[in-house]
């Protein structure tokens, strides 16, 4: 067992820290307050290969590993959870399924522009009546000659309003249950495909969360991703990977919070001494950093297992479950250390407090993670 | 294609530097190192020429073996080739011995333009660039903050002086020293980071250069540091309490008297 980063990983981490501090942090408050998607940051990340980190170079990516990729999400999320999830959804939920399940032609046509950052990706599984129960897909895809006629809608789609390429799921055979679900690649601007309502949210306000509407979308049959009827498996495997990204986002928020609190308690004086001299502050930050490190080890383990081509589904669920829990705890306690100041917009804690909550919900709620973990133990 | 050679130095991050008060020397242990800012800006200027009109950019540094870590970063920024001039015999070199060594190496490789940062933040001498140009018998332009045009025959630059700019032209090959304001360094590219550690770093020792010991390292260095100390600032101040108008007049008098401003 080796807990050292490789030289490449360490140098990448240095880049991500610099980039997040200089380019992401200064925009974070504005992105939140104006609910503004940070297009300029996305463009900057594309220019330095941050939008296809774990995708091989021949498909437009940077040829890095998953650990490097999730460290990018972590570092971005330390200062702006919105920016973190843009990268996570794009990489884990759009690039990854294309890489794993796409044909050569599909990789050439869709993965290459995504991984090079020329285009942005999104993933559409959730529906009004299919949340945690993702098998209850009501969107339909009916084969008609060389096309699939797609009807239905998706909700809560991250990157929805800004994505060019969408991986979506629909029922090709209602009789077969989960074996009747198929995955498809849909492009922005196709006739019969439109973006519906944009959600206003508690946190990650700058991220674009929208509805996708399909009305007699005639999708060429070549846009079927993987085999017909194998969509549910593709969705679940994709989400396994996505969970490591969200765990990294949660981890970034948690560490970002604590870093702010540590800075504050060293400066703030009450009762004639800095808050850092009080045992309460000391014990709170000691506990938090220990828990954050534990979350980091779980998250990195899942990423390394994925890199090694080993099963990682349970470990990814554990990482997300624990990291999102610690993220909530860290925002709550860190904000408390700042007292009234933490509650104001003078400090980023109130934003991070709101941002942390989503990590317990999307890409499988904490309860779903427990179902995944328990299922692996009780089989 | 144009050959651009950039000279860079790995320096301690002086914002985190402490001085050993007893010995009067810099405490280097545990201090993070960075690429000297003026040099990094010079590399960025070179990379912009490469992006615009094509060029081969070679980075050269003289330093201990640890300087290799900087060269890996320079590869990740877009350098085409990196060279580390490193040998125990070069150790302890002042600017004279350094430029002897750099000059001897540069004489063995092709170049059209040599870019050096104006000065390094650890020594602040601003001598290595100009001295290297002299050893190579090249025209030099210092304090460059903009490259206006460049071809294989001619370079046109803006030189920033304290209170004015000069537009200067030189034949090529030549050497320029750059200010940090010439260009904002880019970020590394993740894809280049992945390749940076597989690229070769050419290590040049005195086996290659065959310089005499009297011209290199500590023995080749005429500069002798007698003492290093932290400057003590003595504030001699007079406190005057005056009406605003009289105060303004008094301040003006003091500024004129000390020639901080002209009449």
Domains (range + CATH), chain A: 7-120 (1.10.540.10), 122-230 (2.40.110.10), 233-378 (1.20.140.10)
pLDDT at B24 over 70: no
Written as six digits, the tokens of B34 are 């960075």
Please report the pLDDT score of residue B25 as a whole number. 65
3-state secondary structure chain B: CEEEEEECCEEECHHHCEEECCCCEEECCCCCEEECHHHHHHHHHHHHHHHHHCEEEEEEEECCHHHHHHHHHHHHHCCCEEEEECCHHHCCCCHHHHHHHHHHHHCCCCCCEEEEECCCCCCCCCCHHHHHHHHCCCCEEEEEEEEEEECCCEEEEEEECCCCEEEEEEECCEEEEECHHHCCCCCCCHHHHHHHCCCCEEEECHHHHCCCHHHCCCCCCCCCCCCCCCCCCCCCCCCCCCCHHHHHHHHHHHHHHCCCCCC
The mean pLDDT value of chain A amounts to 97
Residue B47: band (very low, low, confident or very high) from pLDDT cuts 50, 70, 90: very high
Distance CA A189, CA A207 (A): 20
Please report the pLDDT score of residue A20 as a whole number. 98
Please report the pLDDT score of residue B15 as a whole number. 76
Please report the pLDDT score of residue B16 as a whole number. 73
Q: How does pLDDT run across A167-209, given as a tens digit for each residue? A: 999 999 999 999 999 999 999 999 999 999 999 999 999 999 9
Please report the pLDDT score of residue A200 as a whole number. 97
ipTM of this predicted structure: 0.94
Of B187, B195, B197, Cβ closest to residue A15: B187
pLDDT at A128 over 80: yes
Written as six digits, the tokens of A151 are 């009807």
In the A/B pair of chains, how many CB contacts fall below 8 A? 48
> Any chain A CB within 8 A of the CB of B71?
no
In words, the CATH class of domain B2-215 is alpha beta
Of B73, B76, B190, Cβ closest to residue A53: B190
**Beta carbons of A362 and A158 less than 8 angstroms apart:** yes
| B199 CA: distance to closest CA in chain A (Å) | 13
Residues of B in contact with A62 (CB under 8 A): 189-191, 193-194
pLDDT at A72 over 70: yes
- Residues 189-218 of chain B whose Cβ lies under 8 A from any Cβ of chain A: 189-197
Residues of B in contact with A11 (CB under 8 A): 72-73, 76, 188, 193, 196
Contact across the interface for B194 and A7, Cβ inside 8 Å = no
Whole-prediction pTM:
0.92
Please report the pLDDT score of residue B229 as a whole number. 74
Residue B23: band (very low, low, confident or very high) from pLDDT cuts 50, 70, 90: low
CB-side neighbour CA atoms (13 Å) of B19: 11
Beta strands in A275-368 (DSSP E): none
Q: Sign (positive/negative) of CA torsion B190, B193, B194, B199? A: positive
Contact across the interface for B187 and A48, Cβ inside 8 Å = yes
The residue ranges of every structural domain in chain B are 2-215
pLDDT at B21 over 80: no
Phi, psi of A375 (to 5 degrees): -60, -35
Of B73, B186, B191, Cβ closest to residue A11: B73
pLDDT at A290 over 90: yes
Q: How does pLDDT run across B180-223, given as a tens digit for each residue? A: 999 999 999 999 999 999 999 999 999 999 999 999 998 999 98
* Mean of pLDDT values over B159-188: 96
Task: List the beta bridge partners of residue B146.
Answer: B158
Task: List the beta bridge partners of residue B25.
Answer: B20
A363 is catalytic: yes
């Amino acid at each position: 067992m080796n807990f050292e980063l490789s030289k490449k990983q360490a140098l990448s981490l240095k880049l991500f820290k610099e980039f997040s501090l200089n380019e992401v942090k200064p925009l974070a408050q504005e992105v939140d307050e104006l609910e503004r998607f940070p297009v300029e940051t996305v463009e900057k990340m594309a220019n330095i290969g941050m939008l296809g980190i774990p995708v091989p170079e021949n498909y437009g990516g940077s040829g890095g590993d998953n650990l490097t990729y999730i460290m990018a999400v972590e570092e971005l999320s330390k200062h702006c959870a919105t920016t973190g999830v843009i990268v996570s959804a794009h990489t884990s939920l759009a690039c990854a399924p294309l890489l794993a399940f796409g044909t050569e032609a599909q990789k050439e046509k869709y993965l290459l522009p995504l991984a090079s950052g020329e285009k942005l990706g999104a993933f559409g599984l959730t529906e009004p009546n299919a949340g945690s129960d993702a098998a209850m897909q009501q969107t339909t895809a009916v084969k008609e000659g060389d096309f699939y006629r797609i009807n239905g809608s998706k909700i809560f789609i991250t990157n929805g309003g800004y994505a060019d390429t969408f991986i979506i799921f629909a029922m090709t055979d209602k009789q077969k249950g989960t074996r009747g679900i198929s995955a498809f690649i849909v492009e922005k601007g196709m006739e019969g495909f439109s973006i519906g309502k944009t959600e206003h949210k508690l946190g990650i306000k700058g991220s674009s969360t929208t509805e996708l509407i399909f009305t007699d979308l005639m999708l060429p049959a070549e846009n079927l991703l993987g085999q017909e009827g194998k969509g549910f498996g593709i969705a679940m495997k994709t989400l396994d990977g996505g969970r490591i990204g969200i765990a990294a986002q949660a981890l970034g928020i948690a560490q970002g919070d604590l870093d702010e609190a540590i800075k504050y308690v060293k400066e703030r004086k009450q009762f004639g001494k800095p808050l850092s001299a009080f045992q309460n502050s000391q014990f709170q930050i000691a506990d938090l950093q220990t828990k954050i490190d534990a979350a980091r080890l779980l998250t990195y383990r899942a990423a390394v297992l994925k890199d090694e081509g080993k099963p990682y589904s349970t470990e990814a669920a554990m990482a997300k479950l624990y990291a999102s829990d610690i993220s909530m705890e860290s925002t709550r306690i860190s904000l408390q250390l700042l007292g009234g100041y933490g509650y104001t917009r003078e400090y980023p804690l109130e934003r991070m407090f709101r941002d942390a909550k989503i990590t317990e919900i999307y890409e499988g709620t904490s309860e779903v993670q427990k179902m995944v973990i328990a299922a692996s133990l009780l089989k | 294609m144009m050959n651009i050679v950039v000279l860079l130095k790995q320096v301690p991050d002086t914002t985190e530097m402490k001085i050993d008060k007893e010995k009067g020397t810099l405490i280097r242990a545990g201090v993070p190192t960075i690429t000297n800012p003026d040099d990094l800006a010079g590399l960025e200027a070179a990379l912009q020429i490469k992006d615009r009109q094509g060029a081969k950019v070679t980075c050269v540094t003289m330093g201990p073996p640890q300087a290799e870590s900087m060269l890996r970063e320079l590869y990740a920024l877009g350098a085409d080739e990196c060279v580390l001039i490193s040998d125990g015999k070069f150790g302890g070199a002042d600017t004279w011995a350094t430029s002897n060594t750099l000059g001897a190496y540069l004489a063995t490789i092709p170049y059209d333009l040599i870019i050096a940062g104006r000065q390094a933040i650890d020594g602040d001498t601003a001598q290595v660039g100009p001295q290297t140009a002299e050893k190579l018998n090249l025209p030099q332009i210092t304090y460059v903050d903009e490259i206006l045009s460049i071809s294989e025959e001619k370079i046109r630059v803006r030189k920033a002086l304290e209170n004015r700019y000069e537009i200067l032209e030189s034949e090529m090959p030549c050497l320029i020293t750059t200010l940090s304001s010439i260009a904002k360094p880019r970020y590394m590219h993740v894809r280049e980071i992945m390749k940076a550690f597989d690229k070769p770093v050419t290590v040049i020792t005195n086996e290659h250069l065959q310089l005499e010991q009297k011209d290199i390292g500590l023995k080749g260095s005429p500069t002798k540091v007698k003492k290093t100390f932290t400057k003590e600032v003595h504030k001699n101040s007079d406190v005057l309490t005056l009406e605003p108008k009289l105060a303004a007049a008094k301040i003006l008098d003091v500024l004129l008297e000390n020639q901080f401003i002209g009449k």
